[in-house]
């Protein structure tokens, strides 16, 4: 007995010794690591500032014809970067009422102006969320020693949301012209003088509406193996080609696809993703299908400071595809009304409105719509879109009346039932779900309502999917299972009864 006790005592002693040693070692190493961190001398020169895309408004330089020293590309680039950063830190300062970063981009005298505003706004509980969407820069002067530059920034398109006590007080879009004197200090081009020379409310010039969509008989498309990940590593042109042939042969004439925001690289749209997107449109063209491209999917931030990045994303994709023969229309965003509650309806609609205007300036020829998730939201921004799209997953009983109500509200624009469908899942997670026959009846009836109301449509969806990413409907199995069974073709590749009603009643 004493023997055992002694052994226990020994092992406890040895163990505690090991533990204490480990703790001391850990402590010493933490102190050592701590002492080795800190400012690196090279940071004094500001040579290592990492360039991340945080503010990318549309910016045009006028042809260089400045007084003084001839400008070189590298310096011009440095000026442009620092000038935009100056705007960015200013927007952040007025949004958060702090002065972080202001010192780097404004000279000692100039920064006082911003500090005054921040102080005044703190006192009055004001905050301003702003961004600039367009700049037209002209280099007026560059000094011989390369230390001073004068710019004119004409017709800067400024968007601001002014809050008082966190309540939106004013939303304003202005266009202003600035004269700016910049100095090169400590490796930064800093704003020394900034003078607003002109400012007024901005009204977007009216763009002709495009009511070109007619007779859309379409389907929302994802490949069976890679739903919600169409442009990933498993992208397979042959499968898509086969599917498109099938869609065409089933009597449909168009498809709707989605551009995931993060996956495409945000503001820095990845060229390989663009190529895949173009490939999809090429295949569609070969199969005489038209493509409705949803520009934003899996995006839900909307914060004003990121607008320039969102717009850059859209601009790259739109200008890349705008001349493609298979392009049918631009769907700005998939189901943005789902974000009304979390982000605020006003902010989301403002974002959509500005995005529509951007897409129109880039591509004046293709019609624009927004994929509202329900029929109640459909009239939102009806004057901005070229045709109105909505999704419908509720009972078909009310669809007919709902359409008639909507038609009263939207008189002269085409309506597209952009998503509708029924899951044929009936199983352990949903014992009272619908059967494949129910699904067939649903589509038959839906098609009848569609043709009675002269509606255009895009159904959800071609395939029963095997794996649904958790980002789509969450992790709950009954949701996932249901989402897997919306297709006209089941997981084994056989057509379900509903397939008969894919394009007509």
Partner 1 sequence: MKLNFTYLLVLGLLSMIFIDENNDEFTLITKETQFEAGKNIELEFSGSNQEKPTLYISNSYGSSIIKPTLKLDVLGYKLPRAICERTGVIYWKLLSGSNKLSGKLSIYPKLEVATMETYLGPPSIEAGETDYSMLVVIPTDVYDNPLPDSTKVIVKHQFLGNLSEDVVLTRNRISFKNIYSKTISGRILVASECLDKDSKEYTIDVMPAIPTNFTISYQQNHNYADGNQITTFSTSIIKDRYGNIVSDGTYVQFFITNNSNNILKTSGTTINGIATAKMIHPDHEDNWIIKAYVEGIAESNEISLFYKKVIEDFEVVFSEDNRKITIGPLKSFMNQMIPDGMEISLSIYENDKKIKTLYKSSYEGFATFKLNANDFPNNMYRLKIKVAGVGKTYSRIKL
Where on the chain is the footprint of partner 1 (CB under 8 A)? 67-69, 90, 94, 109-110, 112-114, 116-117, 120-121, 124, 126, 128, 130, 140-141, 143-145, 147-148, 150, 152, 160, 162, 164, 169-170, 172, 174, 176, 178-179, 181, 183, 193-201
Q: How far apart are CA 371 and CA 388, in angstroms?
A: 8
Of 120 and 212, which CB lies nearer to partner 1 in the complex structure?
Answer: 120
CA dihedral for 69, 71, 72, 77, sign (positive or negative): positive
**Do 420 and 459 meet the contact criterion of CB atoms below 8 Å apart?**
yes
Q: Of 48 and 144, which CB lies nearer to partner 1 in the complex structure?
A: 144
Report the candidate in 143, 195, 216, 207 with the shortest Cα–Cα distance to residue 385.
207
In angstroms, what is the minimal distance from the CB of 124 to partner 1?
6
Q: How far is the CB of 215 from partner 1 (least distance, A)?
A: 39
Residue 193 Cβ, how far from partner 1 at the closest point, in Å?
A: 5
**What stretches of 241-367 adopt beta strand conformation (E)?**
254-260, 290-297, 327-334
178 versus 486: smaller Cβ distance to partner 1 = 178
Beta strands in 327-462 (DSSP E): 327-334, 368-372, 388-392, 415-420, 456-459
The answer to whether 254 touches 328, Cβ cutoff 8 Å, is yes
Report, in Å, the least distance between residue 67 CB and partner 1. 7
CB of 384 to partner 1, least distance (A): 19
Beta carbon nearer to partner 1, 172 or 361: 172
Q: Which is nearer to partner 1, 199 or 319 (CB)?
A: 199
Residues 83, 87, 91, CA angle at the centre, nearest 5°? 165
Q: Which residue's CB is nearer to partner 1, number 179 or number 504?
A: 179
* Pairwise CA distance, residues 476 & 484, whole Å: 13
CA-to-CA distance for 176 and 154, rounded, in angstroms?
A: 7
Contact predicate 355/371, CB 8 Å: no
Closest CB to partner 1 among residues 174, 436: 174
CB 198, min distance to partner 1, A: 6
- Residues 289, 281: Cα–Cα separation, whole Å: 9
Q: Minimum distance between the CB of residue 166 and partner 1, rounded to whole angstroms?
A: 13
For residue 433, say if its preceding peptide bond is cis, omega within 30 degrees of 0.
no
Q: CB 50 → partner 1: shortest distance, Å?
A: 27
Residue in 312, 75, 278 with CA at minimum distance from that of residue 188 = 75
- Looking at the chain, how many residues does it have? 505
Least distance CB 169 / partner 1 (angstroms):
6
Judge contact between 396 and 449, C-beta under 8 A.
yes
Instruction: Quote the DSSP letter at residue 233.
Output: T
Complex with partner 1: residue 199 or 452, whichever CB lies closer: 199
Q: Which is nearer to partner 1, 41 or 167 (CB)?
A: 167
């Amino acid at each position: 007995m004493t023997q055992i006790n002694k052994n226990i005592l020994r092992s406890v002693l040895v163990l505690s010794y090991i533990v204490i040693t480990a703790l001391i070692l850990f402590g010493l190493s933490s102190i050592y690591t701590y002492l080795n961190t800190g400012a690196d001398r090279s940071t004094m020169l500001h040579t290592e500032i990492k360039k991340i895309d945080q503010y990318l408004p549309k910016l045009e330089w006028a042809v260089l014809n400045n007084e003084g020293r001839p400008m070189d590309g590298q310096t011009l680039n440095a000026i442009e970067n620092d000038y935009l950063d100056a705007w960015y830190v200013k927007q952040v300062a007025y949004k958060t009422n702090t002065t972080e970063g202001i010192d780097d981009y404004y000279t000692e005298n100039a920064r006082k102006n911003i500090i005054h505003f921040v102080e005044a706004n703190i006192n009055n509980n004001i905050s301003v969320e702003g961004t600039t969407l367009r700049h037209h820069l002209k280099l007026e002067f560059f000094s011989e020693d390369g230390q001073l530059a004068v710019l004119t920034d004409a017709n800067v398109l400024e968007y601001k949301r002014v809050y008082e006590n966190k309540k939106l007080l004013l939303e304003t879009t202005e266009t202003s012209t600035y004269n700016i004197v910049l100095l090169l200090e400590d490796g930064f081009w800093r704003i020394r003088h900034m003078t607003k020379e002109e400012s007024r409310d901005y009204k977007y010039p009216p763009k002709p509406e495009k009511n070109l969509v007619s007779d859309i008989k379409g389907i929302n498309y994802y490949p069976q193996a890679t739903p919600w990940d169409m442009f990933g590593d498993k992208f397979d042109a042959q499968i898509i080609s086969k599917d498109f042939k099938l869609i065409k042969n089933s009597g449909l004439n168009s498809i709707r696809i989605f551009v995931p925001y993060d996956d495409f690289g945000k503001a820095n749209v990845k060229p390989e993703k663009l190529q895949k997107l173009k490939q999809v449109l090429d295949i569609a063209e070969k199969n005489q299908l038209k493509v409705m491209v949803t520009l934003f999917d899996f995006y839900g931030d909307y914060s004003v400071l990121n607008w320039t990045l969102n717009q850059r994303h859209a601009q790259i994709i739109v200008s890349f595809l705008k001349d493609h023969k298979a392009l049918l229309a631009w769907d700005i965003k998939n189901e943005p009304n789902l974000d009304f509650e979390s982000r605020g309806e006003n902010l989301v609609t403002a974002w959509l409105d500005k995005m529509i205007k951007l897409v129109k300036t880039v591509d004046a020829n293709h019609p624009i719509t927004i994929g509202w998730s329900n029929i109640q939201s459909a009239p939102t921004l009806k004057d901005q879109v070229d045709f109105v799209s909505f999704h419908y997953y509720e009972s078909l009983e009310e669809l007919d009346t709902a359409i008639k109500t909507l038609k009263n509200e939207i008189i002269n624009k085409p309506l597209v039932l952009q998503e509708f469908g029924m899951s044929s899942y009936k199983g352990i997670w949903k014992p009272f779900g619908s059967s494949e026959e129910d699904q067939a009846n649903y589509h038959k009836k839906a098609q009848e309502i569609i043709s009675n109301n002269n509606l255009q449509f895009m159904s959800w969806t071609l395939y029963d999917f095997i794996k649904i990413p958790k980002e789509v409907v969450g992790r709950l199995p009954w949701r996932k299972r249901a989402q897997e069974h919306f297709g006209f073709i089941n997981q084994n590749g056989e057509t379900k009864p509903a397939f008969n009603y894919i394009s007509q009643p």
